[in-house]
Amino acid sequence: MADTRVTLSGLALDNPVIAASGTFGYGAEFARWYDLNVLGGISIKGTTAEERFGNPLPRVAECTGGMLNAVGLQNPGVKAVCERELPALAKVFRKPVLANISGFSVEEYVRCAEALDAQPNVGILEINVSCPNVRGGGMSFGTDPRAAAAVTRAVKKAAKKPVYVKLSPNVTDIAAIAKACEQAGADGISLINTVLAMRISLKTRRPVLANKTGGLSGPAVFPIAVRMVYEVYEAVKIPIIGMGGVSCAEDVIEMMLAGASAVQVGAANLRDPFACREIVKALPGTMEKYGIGSLRDVIGGAH
């Protein structure tokens, strides 16, 4: 019988499929369609210290093989997430969640981390230093090893739960940044976030997005994500959560062969709200097809 169980820093998951931050909200919308407990985990929408409306419209654009978004971390703020969103999610999802955190200063990251670390249904803090759609924060920390390490060190000091740092692909050497985070105490690495991209309208001859640029996600970025997971696996000894264009069970296994211990599914949820559920359902049959008894045995198997 196929064994889909995996572990992240002592946290046991029934399977490696985690709904990615940003495309799954706080779970409530998807809970109306299916039992969320079939998932390995959920990474909730990126949370900042204060409420954010996000970027001006339009902030989504389609393209071949994926989509661009410049949502800009729209969220109700950490107080509302702790008081409203997480308790509501606990009613429909019995497992620990990943709390995705963003900030515009080290102090903001710490403030959010302290609040979310105290929530009973948070199992892992996912520190987003990689958002390409917010000026003055997010990715500015993720493109510099020293800045990423400073955020990691401060959050680790403030939190008791495992800390995973979510990295940007928009860098020259992602392995160097991953190593800096590991040395600063990170318990794991999440990668990749979206790839900086742009569309221009032939009618208006102007950028399609009000923000001009946005983050590319979807199947087009999957080979980039696999390559970066592979590189980071060779550079660090801590677990990796891989993401970027994952849309089927085969993608999950390929990402794990590259070195991921678990995998997040993002843009696929926007195309098909049942995407995560269908990937979980397909995993045992796909494992049998490729002669895999336990998913834990394939982690890093391509190295």
Q: How far is CA 79 from the centre of its chain?
A: 21
Q: How far is it, in rounded angstroms, from Cα 290 to Cα 279?
A: 16
Among 112, 131, 181, 276, the one annotated catalytic: 131
Q: How far is it, in rounded angstroms, from Cα 153 to Cα 16?
A: 27
- Tell me, yes or no, if 131 is annotated catalytic: yes
Angle formed at CA 236 by CA 230 and CA 238, multiple of 5 degrees: 105
Beta strands 66-69 and 97-101 are unpaired
Q: How far is CA 301 from the centre of its chain?
A: 22
CA neighbor of 109 nearest in space, from 69, 73, 84? 73
Q: How far is it, in rounded angstroms, from Cα 141 to Cα 105?
A: 9
Q: How far is it, in rounded angstroms, from Cα 125 to Cα 212?
A: 30
- Enzyme catalytic residues: 131
